[in-house]
């Protein structure tokens, strides 16, 4: 395998050996697929706390994929060269924040520290999967990368929000102090096949209820807004960011904004369910608005989402229907 002479990735001189943490998760598994499709070798790490081996079962027998059962909050040792590390290990749903808050904090802090340590030792490029949650309940709309956020550190979402904010700070510190070549992607709402059916996020929750002909739950009056990016679009953006020279945080998400009530009505229409929509109290610190400003990604990467909501949701509904 070709090795770079300096910190540059060897895209023009051979394929990479890439480490993906959280490889059995929703995004990590899709990212592993993309890297393998591009001809790279992937070492996937996961302790399966929220990941699922079924997400990578189709990679069994692929000679360029190796799965390692490992908790990334512990020291990471790998033989041989590593060209890039993509740190995607983390719980990522409101249910997780309540059930495993300490693990969520540890993977954001200790896990990021260990992954950055590996990047430093291997002289590898490091890409951190951050989140739109670093903006909290935003007072600026849409949210550009320059916005510092409005986060409640002691609220029910604080363990995740602050873990990711700390992870970003740690990543920048390793870049500035140790010279590690880093990238940070701030991921907005993403959906698609391989999401956990019961993870509590809006897409699997509403699709699951619709397929079971149960009332669709909308919190509050449903006027809070979200934007939804299909997983293949997100993975394309991440791959372009990995190859780019951009080192500061970058938003990736879909700018098409809609209310939660409108989204629930879309699920009703696409699934054909006759189940009604019911309203429940709004959770604490639930963001009122969430839409990315992707001007930077458009200008720097030439990237923007291509998959329409109906198309993406039909694929996602078909996936969840197959899992019943």
Q: What CA–CA distances, in Å, run from 129 to 17, 56, 169? A: 19, 19, 13
Q: Is 160 a catalytic residue?
A: yes
Cα separation of 53 and 33, whole Å? 14
Strand partners, 130: 186
Of 11, 12, 9, the C-alpha closest to 124 is 9
Buried b (16+ CB within 10 A) or exposed e, 228-252: bbbbbbbbbbbbbbbeeebeebbbb
Cα separation of 129 and 116, whole Å? 13
Of the residues 160, 174, 191, 239, only one is catalytic, namely 160
Structure tokens at 22: 């959280």
Q: What CA–CA distances, in Å, run from 65 to 171, 203, 204? A: 26, 29, 28
Q: Give me the active site residues, please.
A: 160
């Amino acid at each position: 395998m070709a090795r770079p002479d300096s910190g540059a990735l060897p895209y023009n001189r051979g394929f990479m050996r890439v480490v993906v943490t959280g490889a059995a998760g929703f995004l990590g598994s899709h990212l592993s697929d993309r890297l393998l499709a591009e001809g790279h070798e992937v070492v996937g790490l996961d302790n399966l706390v929220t990941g699922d081996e079924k997400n990578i079962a189709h990679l069994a027998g692929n000679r360029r994929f190796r799965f390692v059962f490992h908790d990334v909050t512990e020291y990471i040792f790998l033989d041989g060269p590593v060209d890039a590390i993509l740190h995607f290990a983390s719980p990522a749903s409101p249910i997780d924040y309540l059930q495993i808050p300490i693990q969520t904090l540890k993977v954001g802090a200790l896990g990021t520290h260990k992954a950055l340590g590996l990047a430093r030792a291997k002289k590898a490029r490091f890409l951190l999967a951050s989140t739109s949650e670093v903006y909290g309940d935003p007072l600026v709309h849409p949210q550009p990368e320059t916005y510092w956020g409005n986060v409640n550190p002691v609220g029910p979402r604080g363990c995740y929000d602050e873990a990711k904010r700390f992870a970003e700070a740690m990543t920048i510190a390793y870049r500035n102090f140790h010279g590690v070549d880093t990238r940070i992607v701030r991921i907005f709402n993403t959906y698609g096949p391989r999401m956990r059916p019961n993870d509590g996020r809006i897409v699997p929750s509403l699709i699951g209820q619709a397929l079971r002909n149960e009332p669709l739950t909308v919190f509050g009056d449903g006027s809070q807004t979200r934007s939804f990016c299909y997983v293949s679009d997100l993975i394309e953006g991440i791959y372009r960011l990995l190859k780019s020279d951009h080192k500061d945080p970058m938003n990736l998400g879909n700018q098409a904004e809609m209310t939660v009530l409108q989204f629930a009505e879309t699920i009703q229409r696409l699934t054909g369910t006759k189940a009604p929509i019911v309203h429940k109290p709004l959770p604490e610190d639930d963001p009122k608005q969430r839409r990315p400003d992707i001007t930077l990604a458009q200008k720097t990467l030439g990237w923007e989402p291509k998959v329409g909501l109906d198309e993406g949701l039909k694929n996602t509904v078909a996936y969840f229907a197959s899992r019943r």
